[in-house]
Chain A
Amino acid sequence: SQQGEEDPQALSIQEGENATMNCSYKTSINNLQWYRQNSGRGLVHLILIRSNEREKHSGRLRVTLDTSKKSSSLLITASRAADTASYFCATDGWDSSYKLIFGSGTRLLVRP
């Protein structure tokens, strides 16, 4: 089974609105990462937040991490049609191999 579960599975918003995606995971982590995947394309790394961090920003992206609740959220502000994509969270564990395990993803549609 996958480590992360994302909510919602699909999200449709109007251009200019904010989009929030949530990720829950099961085991202790070293860090959590968010990726974007455009339809039929490869993955693009968006942001990494370490287990000792609570919030991180990168441009229009804001990521929070609550290790007590084993959850993270990704906020995209002032969304654009070009943000239409699938977004995945992925967790890096504490074992020696640091395996990156992905969640099931949120499909975001930004309507112009």
Chain B
Amino acid sequence: NAGVTQTPKFQVLKTGQSMTLQCAQDMNHEYMSWYRQDPGMGLRLIHYSVGAGITDQGEVPNGYNVSRSTTEDFPLRLLSAAPSQTSVYFCASRTEPRDSNYGYTFGSGTRLTVV
């Protein structure tokens, strides 16, 4: 099924560990983005990419790195995990604004706990 796939669904890390959250889409979308959602809050934009080789910072980029080597994949890296990064992470991709069916598709999320 076409969509955005995030792995893993759940992860527990120790403070200081590193890991990569994977995100892949098969809809040939140029634009992809990462959000975090803390309990009782809305989503906050971490990083986004408008195409392969191009990334930029969102609202809360500190502590996260991204790269975009292919159109399909947009991994999010935590270099040294901190308890403050405990959150649910969502990846999203979207069609182009000029498209008549313009819209976003979200992955099902990765629940990350840093202890």
Report whether B90 and A42 are in contact in the complex, using a CB–CB cutoff of 8 Å: yes
Interchain Cβ contacts within 8 Å, total number:
55
Q: How far is the CA of A33 from the CA of B59 in the complex (A)?
A: 19
B42 touching A103 by the CB < 8 A rule?
yes
A45 touches B103 (CB 8 A): yes
Q: Are A100 and B108 in contact, CB atoms less than 8 angstroms apart?
A: no
Q: Which residues of chain A (1-21) have a CB below 8 Å from chain B?
A: 2, 4
A101→B94 CA distance, assembly (Å): 14
Q: Is B76 an interface residue (CB 8 A)?
A: no
Shortest CB distance B1–A (Å): 14
Is A104 in contact with B90, judged by CB distance below 8 angstroms?
Answer: no
Question: A98 touching B42 by the CB < 8 A rule?
Answer: no
**Which residues does chain B contribute within 8 Å of A30, judged by CB atoms?**
97
Number of interface residues of B (CB under 8 A): 24
Interface size on A, residues (CB 8 A): 23
Judged by a CB distance under 8 angstroms, whether B45 is at the interface is yes
Q: 23 pairs across A/B with beta carbons < 8 Å?
A: A2-B42, A2-B59, A31-B102, A41-B108, A42-B90, A45-B104, A48-B102, A88-B43, A96-B50, A97-B48, A97-B56, A98-B31, A98-B94, A99-B33, A99-B58, A100-B33, A100-B45, A100-B92, A100-B104, A101-B45, A101-B59, A102-B35, A104-B41
Report A's interface with B, CB cutoff 8 A: 2, 4, 30-31, 33, 41-43, 45, 48, 88, 90, 92, 96-105
